[in-house]
Amino acid sequence: MQSVNKPVLHTYFRSSCTWRVRIALALKGIEYDQAPVNLIKDGGQQLSSKFTDINPMQQVPSLEIDGITLSQSLAIIQYLDETRPKPRLLPEDAKKRAYVRMISDLIASGIQPLQNLMVLQKLGDGERLGWAQSYITKGFHALEKILDCTAGQYCVEDEVSMADLCLVPQVYNAERFKVDLTPFPTITRINQALMELEAFKVSHPSRQPDTPPDLRA
């Protein structure tokens, strides 16, 4: 049952892009309702005409909030940050903010789209794993190098930022695709530090209303 005035997140438990937004909502303490969109069932519920009206790209997440419907996880996170500023997810300092956007874009434009369901479905059964592994590994080599310059406890120094909201779900995808993470000690260390935080735990794919029973934590 969805309640009046609460934001509604169109979500899939395992969607890494949606997880980014769930973390932002949790960090900012925003209560919301979830409207699950099963990306596998019925040939993909994101392809239904009802959901296409919500997001013409036929992807999750979408967020209904403040009388508007937004898609694109980074646009959603930035809207949340501009309208609900605490805690900040984009630093005040322009250089740090640029680093946060650079890392977020590296993951959101340079890695995730290449291993997204829509792309993998174009490949043969025997090709998918190697394809996803190769693009995640290539992106992680670049990311590891960048983080060596920008990271403190988290991706950009010691404050949790939008970059961290992109990192953790991408590491989760890497693990799902059995990517060898040993060449990426900084990524691994930051991921572990972030996974200690409650907002990252409660928004984890294993703890969502639409998580199937066998994948629940």
Ligand X SMILES: N[C@@H](CCC(=O)N[C@@H](CS)C(=O)NCC(=O)O)C(=O)O
CA distance 13 to 37: 9
Stretch that binds ligand X, among 27-35, 57-65, 186-194, 199-207 (CB under 6 A): 57-65
- Taking the complex as a whole, the smallest distance from the CB of residue 155 to ligand X amounts, in Å, to 17
- Say how far residue 120 (Cα) sits from the centre of its chain: 18
Q: Strand, helix or coil at 104?
A: helix
Distance CA 52, CA 60 (A): 11
Residue with tokens 């605490």: 86
Q: Does the protein bind ligand X through residue 11 (CB under 6 A)? A: no
What is the distance, to the nearest Å, from the Cα of residue 2 to the centroid of all Cα atoms in its chain?
23
Q: Which residues from 106-135 bind ligand X, rule CB under 6 A?
A: 108, 116-118
Shortest distance in whole angstroms from residue 117 CB to ligand X = 4
CB of 44 to ligand X, least distance (A): 6
Closest distance to ligand X from the beta carbon of 78 (Å):
11
DSSP state of 173: H
Nearest residue to 36 via CA among 71, 56, 55, 9: 9
Is 104 a binding residue for ligand X by CB under 6 A? The answer is: no
Residue 123 CB, nearest approach to ligand X (Å): 13
Binding segment (CB under 6 A) for ligand X, from list 3-11, 14-22, 135-143, 190-198: 14-22
Give the separation between CA 181 and CA 84, rounded to whole angstroms: 35
Residues lying near ligand X in the complex (CB under 6 A) are found at: 15-17, 39, 44, 46, 59-61, 72-74, 108, 116-118
